[in-house]
Structure 1
Amino acid sequence: MPDLHPLTEVELQHESLRLSVCPALGGAITRLSVDGIDLLRPWDGSDSVRRTGCFVLAPFSNRVGDGGFMHEGTRYPLRNLSVEHPLPIHGVAWKRAWSLTEQTSTRLRLTFMHQPEGDGVLDWPFAFEVEHEIKLDDAGVALQLRLRNIDSRSMPAGLGWHPYFLRHAACRLQFEAQCVWQNDAQNLPSRKAPIPAEWDFSAEKSLQQPDLDNCFVGRTKPITIRWPNEGVELTMHASESLDHLVVFTPPADMGFFAVEPVSHANNALCMDDPIANGMRVLRPAETMQVSCKLQIRRITRTGQ
């Protein structure tokens, strides 16, 4: 593929569905719209990947406490890659440029490789490569991630996506989970608890302002987001292994919220049993693969 200028967007289109990606900005999805209606928060054009619409979480999701983690008897320190967060967060891939390796009008493939060389060992101590395939079709958007351990040692691994959905008026949300992690003062999980009534979206309801930045555990069914005033419904069909769901609902005037299908609990790397909390251990040359289908359909607008 030809080299791209910094922060150049690549666009896919299938009928009324449009999706843009910026490979140099964390490989992030910068726009997703149907019939001109934005579903993800549109990128503001800045050099901050946190202002895009969606980015990949690899090789771990969310925060890591304690300044590092233990793996097979060795402690590995991690540095913070985001000035906006006091702890290491969201892995490495979102803070690095990706390569565009395949592209058609409705499909593209992005790749990223990490080598723990120099200061990079403090970003993540193991070598890995990750591939992101994005495809548009009649049903919506198909996303697939493959993470491969290219180190000589085993490595802990996790995957997920971090989409920021636009908070159109009267937005409604539905998902089911078994329980939720309550957080401590550092926003790290401290206690697994039953889901409070105000956080229970097992029946579809208006998003309101539940002030969530929490990881739900035991998701098995699809997640549905409806924008009735815009006449759009989006259903996320995530891999069975993406059975954790991080839900982030900042104040409504921020204009967005996040519903993140991920493979493990926040801070699972530092828990007594990381594997029981969703972390995988990949042997050298072993690959982890997950997928997420965003099924998008038009519905009758409210009042019509």
Structure 2
Amino acid sequence: MTTYTATEGRFGPYPTLILQGPGGTPRAEIALRGATLLSLSLPETGLDSVVSGYATPDDFAALTGARSAILAPYSNRLADGRYVFDGAEHQFAKRDDDGNSLHGLVMDAVWQAGRIEPGADRIAVELTCDTLRSAEQPGYPFHVHLSVRFELSADGLRLTLTARNDGESDAPLGLGWHPYLRLPGQALADCRLTLPHTERIVSDARLIPLPGNDAYQHVRGTEHDFCAPGRALAQSRLDDCYWGPNGNGGLVSTLTGSDGRSLTLTQDRGVVQVYTGHSLPADQPSGLAIEPNEFMPDAFNRPELARAIRLVPGAERSFGASLRVHREHTG
């Protein structure tokens, strides 16, 4: 018997899909605008969300903080909004005060609801977006189709973002996600953070990575060390990308509260950007942005990533992440 459901909802003027299990949890609300995860409640948190979403529809209209944004065709920042690909220079619209392009081109795109797969112990929905397929986006004359699959169960939420090159030429591509996470009832400063990578990407004042090998810094024993077993966030002010060689298993970033609950974000591969939200307006909801990305900021301009970002005609590439809450067992 099917016990998980999908219903239509609204966040102000914005249509949403509400995925829900029996008894009200787990529950996820996803706006069709940007395929944006507005909230996520899991059995260990009751009706409280582990995702720090937009405070109001007006904040969502302004995309304040890029909360839970899907990031494509690039993530984070692109220096001066400019890059060269296969000998041709391209220019994105500039978005931030430093003149950099920020967070891709689909945050405010309208995504279409596709297949909904309800079941007895989980539900999945797929959303699709052709904003990048038309080749009409300034700075991105390519034909890339996007889809994102959300799968919700009592174990948590799995997000899988897939890009397919429908054009006749290679396309540059980097995928990512920008959720802000929280443990309900826990002050962020009292939580401990554990990150999977042992190297940090060193950036300039505009948050663009330094050239060449100067961008890579080992963090063991430094103020940037959040390796196991993690340390309290306290008053940390972070907007840092972490990278490092890793094995074939998923990369796990963990936010642990004083009550023994841990919120984990597991990503397939890549880097993690961590942002404490300190530069956001003071009236914004608190949360720690733990952002799974395929590549470091300014990836389109990094010679060492020239091959990795390339998507050939007809090819697909997927990038996924999962969120779950569990309680540490002692004794």
Question: TM-score of the superposition, structure 1-length normalised?
Answer: 0.86
Question: SS of the residue aligned with 2:79?
Answer: coil
2:21 counterpart of 1:10: no
| Superposed displacement of residue 84, structure 1 | 6.8
Residues 8 and 16 in structure 2, CA contact (< 8 A), matched pair in contact too: no
Partner of 2:173: 157
Partner of 1:93: 106
- Structure 2 unaligned segments of length 5 or more: list them: 1-5
Residues 43 and 52 in structure 1, CA contact (< 8 A), matched pair in contact too: no
2:226 counterpart of 1:201: yes
| Superposed displacement of residue 213, structure 1 | 1.1
Q: What is the CA–CA distance in structure 2 between the aligned matches of 1:294 and 1:188, rounded to whole Å?
A: 28
* Distance verdict in 2 for CA 1:262–1:156, change over 3 Å: same
Partner of 1:73: 87
- Any runs of at least 4 consecutive aligned residues in structure 1 with deviations exceeding 6 A, and if so which? 1-5
* Distance verdict in 2 for CA 1:37–1:67, change over 3 Å: closer
Match of 1:232 among 251, 254, 261: 261
Q: What is the CA–CA distance in structure 2 between the aligned matches of 1:209 and 1:154, rounded to whole Å?
A: 44
Residues 178 and 217 in structure 1, CA contact (< 8 A), matched pair in contact too: yes
Partner of 1:265: 296
Residues 176 and 219 in structure 1, CA contact (< 8 A), matched pair in contact too: no
Q: What is the CA–CA distance in structure 2 between the aligned matches of 1:27 and 1:257, rounded to whole Å?
A: 20
Partner of 1:134: 150
Question: TM-score of the superposition, structure 2-length normalised?
Answer: 0.79
Higher mean C-alpha displacement, 245-254 vs 195-204: 245-254
Match of 2:237 among 203, 211, 225: 211
| Superposed displacement of residue 88, structure 1 | 0.9
Number of residue pairs matched by the alignment:
293
Q: What is the CA–CA distance in structure 2 between the aligned matches of 1:146 and 1:157, rounded to whole Å?
A: 11
Partner of 2:205: 185
Question: SS of the residue aligned with 1:66?
Answer: helix
Match of 2:41 among 33, 47, 65: 33
- Structure 1 unaligned segments of length 5 or more: list them: none
Q: What is the CA–CA distance in structure 2 between the aligned matches of 1:70 and 1:2, rounded to whole Å?
A: 44
Q: What is the CA–CA distance in structure 2 between the aligned matches of 1:38 and 1:214, rounded to whole Å?
A: 25
Letter in 1 for 2:195: F
> CA RMSD for the aligned pairs?
2.8
Question: SS of the residue aligned with 1:269?
Answer: helix
Letter in 1 for 2:20: Q
Partner of 1:223: 253
Q: What is the CA–CA distance in structure 2 between the aligned matches of 1:84 and 1:94, rounded to whole Å?
A: 18
